[in-house]
Structure 1
């Protein structure tokens, strides 16, 4: 990619060079993941799908929920910010249209990376049969016990109530009648995903995915968890080195003004990825407000960066850069150094790399801090 960028730049074609940069940044977002969510009707499949996607049950793009079976065919729900990550809401197994014996074939088994089997009570014989068939075909499956918050509310009325003992009881009860060895049951509440085993489930799925799909799941994961924010930050930090190298290559072209133009496009693209990845873009913040019940303005008030909850443009980036006097001076020095005989181009490459690295690292740090502030506000309740 760097050699293609250099050729485009030497043809005085910064727009094409910018496109190369965008292709690099979009690489992870093109890795497909298809997660199947199944179980009997009314067990909370759709609410789980919405929760993982960060969408409120009443959102126009939400999977429909209800006390009865609302899913009568396979329906795909892409993540709103990362459409390469798809959650497929499957019909309940054992219905007339989807008998257990033909279920996997009818829903299109091969296209799914993994299966999540959800129950709001004890897992059924059909659930156990499905799990064994999935295992036989070499794919991963996970038992998820939903609506745990409701069980705890009911048990709290008892004088000898213990949350830990109640959770252990629920876990033991789920698969009591089915001999499925070494299979963990994840306890979740789709309304309070920061509680119980939701984070553990996500981490387990990430661990089990092929290496080339791990980052795609990470970027689509809710930034409500501090460890997810840190993982995302480290992922973006790894990208900075490559982007720095690309900046240096473009800066080597002795065309006045070209390096700064392409560098701005690079920074805009990278910062946009940070903002969306951390869920700090306006649509994501509004979805977070809807799901948590915390007013949008209140969430926005905890943000300190000028880059979050804004459209990332060259004008905005330029404005922020000019407020950072030392870094702005370094960018100007880069352009001036081009015209120093013999040493101008190597110096320009070095200064471009340093400038790009410092800017991206700074912007990443402040946006990660904003993501943590949003997380703290949500977890505070």
Structure 2
């Protein structure tokens, strides 16, 4: 078997050094430190929009919560934002949406605006409008540009425009032509106001899987620094099948680190310790899969509410025994009990630990393999469930 640590990033070279120095406790601490660091990478998203622009509904939709939720951004047509207001993602608190106050007023003149709101902490800015972008939107964009930050124009409530156009034109209605016209009208308006190569995305907060939200996510992902791409990815709702696939790939890339931590613990010659630690660790990892794929109860209930597909109908297509469970070590062990090859590896690991000289290295290798296979198995199973739920929610043919 290949060395499980040879493809680790530079950040945990100290872990390898600790292993070479026969210090498994220090090695385990280094891997744990690296994993926690990845979980806590901040992503700060500034959102600006005038009263009635659909800004709050957009922020709530992207965070995957209802407007009536106690953690929701306030909706309505009364401009109350006088200070920068943070809204944390309910599942990923390191992802924060910041509601910005109006620009160009006596309280917030354009040339002092970014300094007032603390622009340096934001990774990018989203400027929202329900119709044409206004002079104040352009003022903000220009100030952001001076500071060499990224900004994106979001034209909201596109579903309303499509419905209105369809009602007025009836037989001559063409959705693609309507969308192209609206997008081009926004771009031309911004060009006339002096914005070079404006990026405009047409979005419906009630139907994120339609129109340009996927393109917005792809653009943000492409233009973010590498270490923040996955932070954005995991926080995004499952708006298409591709994003579920990307989440699976990102989760898969992390498994070697958890397996490496498992191997290090297996090097400690204490009976049953490795199995106990592994089960606790895997419960936490699989819980992250459930959240990321939206297979927790609250996510499925919200999906049922927004799509009109009954909650019970979504449950029918879920096959993993771990979905919708109150996940703990006993539940996971019961699921693993049906995986004969994994049970064999776990038993072999415990037995090999007492073989002189070669026993500890063998136990570490077996533990790495058992953890890697187990997490990969449940990841594949839950990713498939997420795809089936997505297709069911959109009324597409259910995968076999």
TM-score by length of 1: 0.91
From 211, 227, 230, the counterpart of 2:242: 227
Q: Counterpart of 2:186?
A: 174
CA–CA distance in structure 2, aligned partners of residues 96 and 160 of structure 1: 47
Match of 1:337 in 2: 352
Q: Alpha-carbon deviation of 1:313?
A: 1.0
Residue-by-residue CA offset, 1:268-313 (whole Å, 9 max, x unaligned): 2221221122222233333433443444333333211111122221
Cα distance, 1:133 vs structure 2? 1.2
Aligned to 2:369: 354
1:165 is matched with: 177
After superposition, the CA RMSD in angstroms is 2.4
Aligned to 2:395: 380
Taking a change above 3 Å as real, the CA distance of residues 255 and 367 of structure 1, as seen in their structure-2 partners, is: same
Structure 1 residues 206 and 127: alpha-carbon distance in aligned structure 2, compared to 1, 3 A threshold: same
- 2:304 alignment counterpart: 289
Cα distance in 2 for partners of 1:243, 1:373 equals 27
2:139 to 129, 144, 147: 129
Instruction: State how far apart, in whole Å, the 1-side matches of 2:356 and 2:228 are.
Output: 47
Q: Secondary structure at the match of 2:172?
A: coil
Where does residue 280 of structure 1 map in the other structure? 295
Unpaired runs of 5+ residues, structure 2, are 1-11
SS in 1 for 2:271: coil
Q: Is the 8 A contact 2:110 2:143 kept in 1?
A: no
Out of 321, 336, 339, the residue aligned to residue 321 of structure 1 is 336
Distance 2:101 2:25 in 1: 52
TM-score normalised by structure 2 residue count = 0.87
Secondary structure at the aligned position of 1:27 is classed as helix
Offset of 1:373 from its aligned partner? 1.5
* SS state at 1:156 partner: helix
Is the partner of 1:318 in helix, strand or coil?
helix
Aligned length: 375
Matches within 5 A, 1:1-381: 2=15, 7=23, 23-95=33-105, 97-157=107-167, 158=169, 159-175=171-187, 176=189, 177-380=192-395
8 Å contact from structure 2 (residues 24, 264) kept in 1 = no
- 2:104, 2:305 → 1: CA distance? 34
1:92 to partner: Cα distance: 3.1
Tell me, in whole angstroms, the C-alpha distance in 2 between the residues paired with 1:21 and 1:364: 21
For residue 105 of structure 1, report the CA deviation from its aligned partner: 2.8
Cα deviation, residue 66, structure 1: 1.3
Q: Deviations over 1:300-347 (max 9, x none)?
A: 332111111222211111111112223212211211122233332222
CA separation in 1, counterparts of 2:74 and 2:33? Answer: 34
**Structure with more relative contact order (C-alpha pairs < 8 Å, separation 6 or more):** 1
Pair 1:297–1:97, CA change in 2 (3 A): farther
Q: Deviation digits for residues 241-277 of structure 1, max 9, x if unmatched? A: 2222222222122221111112212222221221122
The question of whether the paired residues in 2 share the 8 Å contact of 1:93 and 1:126 is answered with yes
Q: Is the 8 A contact 1:41 1:91 kept in 2?
A: no
